Amino acid sequence: MNDLAPLVDQFAKLEPWRGNCAEGQFANFLGVVTDLEFVARHHPSNVTQTDDEGKTVIQPPRISDGEPFFEYAAIHKAIQNANQNDQDKFVMVELGGGYAARCVDAYQALQSQKPMPAQLVIVEAEPTHFQWAKRHLRNNGIDPDDHWLINAAVCPDYDPVMFMQGAGTYYNSIVEPGALDRLVEQVVALDNTRQLLLNLLATGETGVQVPYNSSIGSDLFRYKFVSALPLADILAPLAIVDLIDIDIQGAEKIVLPPAMEALNRRVKRIHIGTHGAGIHSEIWDLFFDNEWNCEIDFPPDTHNTTPWGDFETSDGILHLSNPRL
């Protein structure tokens, strides 16, 4: 576990990207271009330089970059283990897809390292982020119509759930029961209960913006019921999945347990942002009980020292592989 030396060596051999981006965009080391609008409040982790010709040079990620390094590492591992003889395409599922950053990175890395067809499955409940995902695919030469984009929240069942709506902040999440109580108190304090009830009954949306405080500041969110889909149903049409990337803001603890049978049968690798020490431990135990191998394990909110540099975790990192596949 946490055998990082091979990853460091392999990343060091990757050629940096060189080129120029259109105004309003930036590139990563794979050459994937991203609209700055998508990350206006989240500074890119890219290490940029300029070469003798005035072109931008983007180096591969380093361990000191923290969680982005391990997201790329998960993609790299999945591609290296994809077997072109046994499967007709590489399949990746991104839960809490945002603007589909990791799926697009995986597609670009696949085409440069082990060219083969790909099936991308992107599940995102926030409506603006969902449209951004389509745009991000198109900006990088990928036709969204060739892949599966699902505008819903991944949940343990089909019941619609209240979801935080607001673009550009990537901690939008299902409103859990405790948070729902606090939301009700905030809404009642706005003294507009009658109109809110009318909005909910007519549209499934509160129709009011409520402040939410986080480590990056205070934001106003709208709250709306969204469609829900269990993970097992998302996986059902897929024979084999090379990688699932999961970033669903704490819902991992309710989404993964009922899907374990499907995960054991269909999924080779899972990369999870765990969003809390308790959730991290619960998920580790869940996959240990199901005989998965834990390849990378760094709990959330920790300082970590390695021979190649120190890094901090925020969400926490679990990367697990399925010995059955």
Cα separation, 193 vs 85, in Å, equals 60
Question: 61-157+228-321 maps to which CATH number?
Answer: 3.40.50.150
Closest CA to 108 of 29, 214, 175: 29
CB environment 17-55: b (16+ within 10 A), e (fewer) = beeeeeeeebbbbbbbbbbeebbeeeeebbeeeeeeeee
pLDDT score, position 215: 60
Query: What does the DSSP assignment read for 253-302?
Result: HHHSGGGHHHHHHHBSEEEEE--SHHHHHHHHHHHHHTT-EEEEEE-SS-
Burial of 187 (0-12, 13-18, 19+ CB in 10 A): middle
pLDDT score, position 138: 98
pLDDT score, position 300: 93
pLDDT values of the chain reduced to their tens digit, one per residue, 325 residues: 889 999 999 888 888 888 888 888 989 999 999 998 988 876 555 555 555 555 788 888 899 989 999 999 999 999 999 986 677 899 999 999 899 999 999 999 999 999 999 999 999 999 999 999 999 999 999 999 999 999 999 999 999 998 888 776 766 778 777 777 777 777 777 777 777 788 887 888 877 777 766 666 667 778 889 999 999 999 999 999 999 999 998 899 999 999 999 999 999 999 999 988 999 999 999 999 999 999 999 999 999 999 999 999 988 999 999 999 9
Q: Which amino acid is at 42?
A: H
User: Count of H helices and E strands in the chain?
Assistant: 10, 19
pLDDT score, position 20: 87
The pairing of beta strand 48-50 with beta strand 56-58? antiparallel
pLDDT score, position 165: 84
pLDDT score, position 61: 87
Q: What ranges do the domains of the chain cover? A: 61-157+228-321, 175-222
pLDDT score, position 192: 73
Question: How many C-beta neighbours within 10 Å does residue 241 have?
Answer: 24
Cα separation, 246 vs 317, in Å, equals 10
Q: Which amino acid is at 120?
A: L
pLDDT score, position 183: 75
Predicted TM-score (pTM) of the model is 0.91
The pairing of beta strand 118-123 with beta strand 90-95? parallel
In sign, the C-alpha dihedral spanning 247, 251, 253, 254 is negative
Angle between helices 101-113 and 67-81 (to 10 degrees): 50
